[in-house]
Each structure stands twice: as structure tokens, then as C-alpha cells.
Amino acid sequence: MSDAREKALQTLKDKRRWYERGLAFRCKHPACDRCCSGAKGPGYVWLNVDEMRAIAAHMGQPFELFTRHFVRQIDHAYSLIEKRNHDCIFLEGGACSIYEVRPTQCRTYPFWPEPLKSPESWQAEARECPGIEDTAPVVPGAEVELQRTLDEAARAEYDNWP
């Protein structure tokens, strides 16, 4: 078991999270692209510098060129730009064109701190994400906690420009 996974399991035991028995979720991508598209209006895909470097390398672009073309600054943090219709700039034909190196927030959704606050906020998130449904397979509590922890760690680096 990796260190991060072991730590998540321990946190789950120590803090008695309400989702310790796991949560029913299975992403419906590519049949669904709701969290990448502009269907809900404008949004942000936050990312930190390590994630920018990874995407730039994946695209074979110098870091500066990549950030000039694809990243915008919002206050003290950075987000990918959007298309005119508010789709993520990397959403192509309903799929993510940088899937292997997509930012952490894309990987960890819907196991973000806000939806995980309470059973009520999780149910509210189900209105945004069709993958959250009782018939979906259960993601174990330790995995949910790991994803939440990874998301928090990435957020802590959002305003850390070199």
C-alpha cells in the first residue's frame, strides 16, 4: 500500500468520516462530459505549476508558450482558459484531449472537500454529476479519502508561481 493510501486509511479511521463505508459513483465519461463542458456556464479548471509543466511536456510545448496560450490568472491562482461556449479548452468531441495529464481537480472530482462535507452536500452534487447514483459501484471510503487528500494537496499549490 502506498504512503498516501495508508495515510488516507488512517485518517478515515481516526476522523470517522461520514463516508467511511464508501460512496456510490462511476464516471459516465465519455457518454457524459458535464464537468468539462460549458453546459453549466463559465467555470475554472484550477491547476498548479507542476500540472502546467506536465501538460506542456505532453503537448511538446515550452512552458512559457503553453501558459501564454492556455492559462489565465484569476487573482492569485491559475486556471485553464475556456472556449467561447465555456467548454474547457481541452474538451474535444466530448473527450479530454490531455486525459493522461489532466489536472488533479479533474482526476479527483467528485471527491472534493465541498461535496464531501455532508450526506446532504453529496446528494446535492448528484444533481450536477450523473455518475453519483445509488446503482453505481461503491468506491471504498479509503479511496474517497485519498482523492480528497490529493485534491487538497493540489489546491495548496495553486498560488505558487515560480
Binding residues (CB under 6 A) for ligand SF4: these are 27-29, 32-36, 45, 88, 90-91, 96, 98, 102-103, 106, 109-110, 129-131
Contacts (Cβ under 8 Å, ≥6 apart) of 107: 147, 150
Query: For cell 489536472, what's the residue?
Result: 103
Stretch (H or E) spanning 43: none
Minimum distance from residue 96 beta carbon to ligand SF4 (Å): 3
Closer CB to ligand SF4, 1 or 93, in the complex:
93
Kindly tell me which of 90 and 122 has the beta carbon lying closer to ligand SF4. 90
Under 8 Å between Cβ of 104 and 156: no
Phi, psi of 5 (to 5 degrees): -70, -40
If the CB atoms of residues 103 and 141 are measured against ligand SF4, the closer one turns out to be 103
Whichever of 131 and 141 has its CB closer to ligand SF4, that residue is 131
Of 35, 32, 71, which Cα lies nearest the Cα of 55?
Answer: 71
Helical segments of 19-118, H only: 49-59, 63-70, 104-108
Question: Taking the complex as a whole, how short is the minimal distance between the CB of residue 106 and ligand SF4, in angstroms?
Answer: 3
Q: Which is nearer to ligand SF4, 36 or 71 (CB)?
A: 36
Nearest-approach distance from CB 14 to ligand SF4, in angstroms: 28
Least distance in Å: CB of 93 to ligand SF4?
Answer: 11
CA distances (Å), 70 to each of 29, 65, 67, 78, 155, in order?
23, 9, 5, 10, 19
Q: How far is the CB of 154 from ligand SF4 (least distance, A)?
A: 13
